[in-house]
Structure 1
C-alpha cells in the first residue's frame, strides 16, 4: 500500500499498535517507507507457532508439552489478550488461533499478527475497511461472528482462545 494512499484511520491504527508493549505480544519496532511502500518492522522472536508444535511431528518432538508447559502457554496467551482488552482504547485481536501464538524453546509465548486487530475507538478498522466486515479464521471464529455476522468484541477473542 502506498503511503500516500494509506488512509488516516489505518495510520492511526498502525501508530497505536506500534505503541503496544507487553512481554507476550510481538512488538512493532519501527515504521518506515521504502520504494513508496509502507514498511512495518517487527520484533524478532526465534520461535515456532503453536500450531506447528501441536501438529508437526518434526517440530513437536523438540518440545516437551507436559501439563505445566501447556498451562504456561495458555496463561501467557491469556495475559496478552487481557492486556489488549484492558488497553485504552480497547484492542480486539479478531484472529486468535494457534498459528498466531509463537512459542520459543524456553516456553516464552508471544501473540502475533495483530494485523486484524480492531481498536474500539476507531469505527473503521484496517481489515473491515478493506474487506468489508467479517475477518478472522473461520475455524476459530466465535459463533456470533461466523453465524450471526455480529461485530467483534473481547468475548469473541476469548471464544477463539478457548
Structure 2
C-alpha cells in the first residue's frame, strides 16, 4: 500500500489567489431595508459560471427541479439552471425562533463573495420568490453549485467504501485548504463536521452550510464579540463556545480536529448524554480517544495523534492556525 500523505504537507504554504470583492450586508443590521440584498457585484445574466453571485434568480430558467433532501433548515433541490446542474436551497422560517432562522439565512451568504475549490459556490440568492416556487414560511432561496449527493458523514458511517490513510488525509487536506481560505477573509464557519462537507464525483471535498458562520470585522486570529445565539453541533463545538465566550477562527480548528478523528477511526466521537458530554468537554477536558485505536500506533498515526491534541487543546493559543507559519497541518 502506498505511504500516506505526510501530515506536514497537507496544507500549501502559499495562499490561494482569490477574488475578495466585499462582504454581504444583512438587513438585520439595517432597519427598513426590507428584503434587499446588498451585493458586491452583479452576475451577468446567462453566466452561471461567473465568480460573482447575484441577487436575481431567473425563475423561468429553472428546469427539472427534484427534491434531494430536507431538514429543520428547509429543503434542497437538484435542478437545471441556464444549462448547468445546480442546487436550490429553500430556507424556511423557524416557528420557535424566527430571528435565529433569519440570521441563519443571511449567514449563509457570508462566503458568497468568495471563490475556492473547497467551498461550495453561491450563484444567486433572493428573498423574493414567485408564488409557484414559494414554500410556506420561507425566508429566501439560495442557488448554489451542485457538488453531488454525498457528504463525509455518509462516507464515514453509511458506506462500505475504504477509507485508507491516503484518502482520509486527502479529504482532511481539502477541508484545511477551505478553512485557510475562509479564515484569510475573516469568515469563521462555526459548524465544521462531516455532514457539512460535500464530496464530488472526483473526490474533492467542499465546505457547505454556512448558516452558523460569522464574518469577523478584524483580524480573524483575534477574538470577536459574543455570538447572539447558540450555533454548531455540540459534539464538534469548542469549549469556549460551550462556555459562551467570544469567538475566533480557532473554534473551526477544534471542529476540524474532531472531524479528522472521525475520518481516521470511522466512529462517533462521543457516546452518552448530551449535557454530560458538553459538561465533560469543558470541565474535564473530554476528547475522543486515541489510545484505544490501532490507527494511531504507526509513525504517521502518532503524528496525527499529536496534531489532534493540538487542534482540540482547551487553550486556543496552543491550537495551530490556518494562517501564517503555524499551519493547521
Normalising by structure 2, we get a TM-score of 0.40
Measure, in 2, the Cα distance between the counterparts of 1:135 and 1:54: 23
CA distance in 1 between counterparts of 2:225 and 2:253 reads 22
> Match of 1:156?
251
After the TM superposition, which of the residue ranges 72-81 and 17-26 deviates more from structure 2? 17-26
Structure 2 distance, partners of 1:68, 1:124, is 39
Whole-angstrom distance in 2 between the partners of 1:35 and 1:47 = 27
Query: Equivalent residue of 1:74, what SS?
Result: helix
Query: Which of 148, 152, 159 in structure 2 is aligned with 1:46?
Result: 148
Deviation at 1:51, TM superposition (A): 0.9
RMSD: 2.7
Secondary structure class of the residue paired with 1:20: coil
**Aligned twin of 1:21:** 115
What stretches of structure 2 of length at least 5 have no aligned partner?
1-25, 39-106, 132-138, 219-223, 258-329
Q: Which moved more, 1:101-110 or 1:75-84?
A: 101-110
Match of 1:65 in 2: 163
How many residues align? The count is 146
Identify if the C-alpha distance between structure 1 residues 104 and 64 changes in structure 2 by more than 3 Å, giving closer, same or farther.
Answer: farther
Contact 1:92-1:157 within 8 A present in 2 as well: yes
Measure how far apart 1:116 and its partner are. 1.0
1:113-159 CA-partner distances (Å, limit 9, x unpaired): 0111100129889xx5xxx322111110001111x211221100000
Q: In terms of mean alpha carbon deviation, does 23-32 or 9-18 score higher?
A: 9-18
CA distance in 2, matches of 1:66, 1:34: 45
Change (3 A) 1:40 1:14: same
Instruction: Map Cα deviations across residues 51-108 of structure 1 (whole Å, 9 max, x no partner).
Output: 111111xxx22x3311111110000000000001011xx0000000110011134321
Cα distance 1:54–1:118, how it changes in 2: closer, same or farther (>3 A)? same
Pick 1 or 2: higher relative contact order, CA cutoff 8 A, min separation 6. 1
Tell me which of 112, 118, 141 is aligned to 2:208. Answer: 112
Q: Which runs of 5+ in 1 are unaligned?
A: none
SS at match of 1:113: coil
Note if contact 1:47-1:105 (Cα within 8 Å) is conserved in structure 2: no
**Runs (4+) of structure 1 moved beyond 3 Å?**
8-16, 122-125
The structure in which a higher percent of residues are helix is 1
- Residues 1:78 and 2:172 are matched in the alignment: no
